[in-house]
Amino acid sequence: MDFPIFHLDFIGNRMLIAITAIVHVIINHPMAVGAIPMATLLEWIAHRKKWSALDDLAYKITFVFFVITTSLGAMTGVGIWFTTALVNPDAIGSLIRVFFWAWFSEWVVFFLEVVFIMIYFLTWKPWSGEKKRLHLGVGLFLSIFSWLTMAVITGILGFMMNTGKWVPFSYEWVPESSMFTAFFNPLYLPQLIFRTAVAFLGAGLFFLFLIPFFKKLTAEVRGRAVRPISLWVLAWLPVAIAGAIFYWQRIPVYMQANAPVALATQDFTRWYQTILWFLLGMAAIVPLAALWGVVKPKRLPAAALVIPFIAVATLLGTFERLREFVRKPWVIQGYLYANGLRAQDYPLFKEEGVLSRATWVRHHQVTEENKLEAGGELFMLTCSRCHTVGGVNSVRTRFQKLFPVQKWDEEQLAAYISTMHNIRIFMPPFPGSDAELKALSAWLAANQHYAMRAEGGQTALLPSAPVLK
């Protein structure tokens, strides 16, 4: 509450972060983390067998990844930190306190990764012949650095879901607070195994997907590329599946209970599940296509590669969404709620109110005169990290859907809000005082009324914009 509130009422803050993060992961995992070792492996095979056409193919595919990862990949990676710091500065602030040196080393590792990508790509052709071994060494080095960027971030992501300490050979967690134990949290290892395997597997599929675009390749060269890549995919597939199971088991049980809501959210219930089943079905083609690629590499049809490629890219996006969702109501498990408020401050808020502690609001106390405006500010403070007024996950639509026949009155709203966290466990409890609960309810009721009058609800009674002091 020490920071101004950034609010996008059209797509909502959650969606803003989701789009940036999902695009980033779909690019980063297969095209950076997985593609470099894949390319180095092909380069090594080409070097050993003296297959120069295969070397050339690996080079050209690396060029595609080089362009995408150093532009869109890097932009969305930095974009994640910008959007999350904007939407939930308290969360990023708390994480930096714990992971200060991890944050710093991530920057160094990322910088080195970009430098090595440049060297690897730009020296590919000049360092042929005798210097090829040196170039392969750069590839190996780069593979380690791109994996490390992911390995560092995974520590932070796991901590956000489970802050407990991992006790070796046991499933017991004890709260700890040093960076080291925070980093090696219970979800670290399973998540890292899962992400590594999916990144490597995805890279293989991206390579297979791109090969048909190189029209001039002879069937011979295609076959030489397709077989090792297919083997690679087959090798990582069981690791990815085992990693997923291990990961799921380590997710706290009450968070697992959020998964059905994440997958069948009210916004998309009708078609989202159908699409997911369809995708899972398509993903089943992955091992079949890879097996085909091993047995008859020259004959693997191009169409068979498109489907696994799309399936894995979309499942990766779904997995990121799932991870973000099941963590609710927390942004840092047990410590900070997604609304940016600390659990330990709740008793104080209940007594003295949230407004009295908020820096960037106009009203610090609820009075009869300011009730509606204060209510709007309370919406901003306690609901707007996840809800909009009239956009995606609109709070007005949510209430209307719950009780479609009639308008909610103030008392009904207050009764719902004060217990909503029991029914919908992904929402944090309302933190404010009784007067604040009434103010928020009054604002929600007025907002609803106004929306009804405006027919269609395009012109919402927006909360007063927080004033900068």
CB of 59 to ligand HEC, least distance (A): 46
Q: Which residues contact residue 353 at a Cβ distance below 8 angstroms, ignoring those fewer than 6 apart? A: 365, 366, 432, 433, 435, 436
Distance separating alpha carbons of residues 288 and 304, to the nearest angstrom: 9
**Residue 386 sits in the site that holds ligand HEC (CB under 6 A):** yes
Total residues contacting ligand HEC (rule CB under 6 A)? Answer: 25
**One-letter amino acid for residue 104 of the chain:** F
- Closer residue to ligand HEC in complex, CB, 217/389: 389
**Residue 382 sits in the site that holds ligand HEC (CB under 6 A):** yes
**One-letter amino acid for residue 77 of the chain:** G
- Closer residue to ligand HEC in complex, CB, 313/427: 427
Kindly report each contact of residues 391-399 with a partner whose C-beta sits within 8 Å and lies 24 or more positions away, as own/partner: 391/8, 391/9, 391/10, 391/11, 391/12, 392/10, 392/11, 392/12, 392/14, 392/15, 392/267, 393/12, 393/14, 393/267, 395/444, 396/444, 396/447, 396/448, 396/451, 396/457, 396/460, 398/266, 399/444, 399/448
Residues 204-233 that bind ligand HEC (CB under 6 A): none
Cα-based distances in Å from 143 to 91, 121, 134, 177? 31, 13, 14, 31
CB of 352 to ligand HEC, least distance (A): 18
Residues 415-444 that bind ligand HEC (CB under 6 A): 417, 420, 424, 426-428, 430
CB 186 within 8 A of CB 175: no
Nearest to 155 by CA among 113, 189, 129, 122: 189
**Residue 240 sits in the site that holds ligand HEC (CB under 6 A):** no
Cα–chain center distance at 23: 9
**Residue 387 sits in the site that holds ligand HEC (CB under 6 A):** yes
- Closer residue to ligand HEC in complex, CB, 124/399: 399
Part in contact with ligand HEC (CB under 6 A); list of ranges 99-107, 185-193, 208-216, 381-389: 381-389
CB 466 within 8 A of CB 3: no
CB of 355 to ligand HEC, least distance (A): 14
Distance separating alpha carbons of residues 301 and 40, to the nearest angstrom: 25
Part in contact with ligand HEC (CB under 6 A); list of ranges 66-74, 119-127, 231-239, 260-268: 260-268
Part in contact with ligand HEC (CB under 6 A); list of ranges 60-68, 109-117, 128-136, 264-272: 264-272
Distance separating alpha carbons of residues 318 and 324, to the nearest angstrom: 10
**Residue 397 sits in the site that holds ligand HEC (CB under 6 A):** no
- Closer residue to ligand HEC in complex, CB, 207/426: 426
**Residue 134 sits in the site that holds ligand HEC (CB under 6 A):** no
Residues 45-74 that bind ligand HEC (CB under 6 A): none
Part in contact with ligand HEC (CB under 6 A); list of ranges 113-121, 144-152, 199-207, 384-392: 384-392
- Closer residue to ligand HEC in complex, CB, 262/311: 262
CB of 283 to ligand HEC, least distance (A): 24
- Closer residue to ligand HEC in complex, CB, 105/265: 265
Distance separating alpha carbons of residues 412 and 409, to the nearest angstrom: 5
**Residue 453 sits in the site that holds ligand HEC (CB under 6 A):** no
Residues 318-377 that bind ligand HEC (CB under 6 A): 328-329, 338-339
Burial level of 358, CB count in 10 A (0-12/13-18/19+)? buried
- Closer residue to ligand HEC in complex, CB, 251/427: 427
Burial level of 327, CB count in 10 A (0-12/13-18/19+)? buried
Part in contact with ligand HEC (CB under 6 A); list of ranges 177-185, 227-235, 306-314, 383-391: 383-391
Q: Is the peptide bond before 329 cis (omega within 30 degrees of 0)?
A: yes
- Closer residue to ligand HEC in complex, CB, 220/351: 351
Name the token pair of 162.
Answer: 């489970």
CB of 302 to ligand HEC, least distance (A): 38
Site residues (vs ligand HEC, CB under 6 A): 261, 265-267, 328-329, 338-339, 382-383, 385-387, 393, 395, 398-399, 402, 417, 420, 424, 426-428, 430
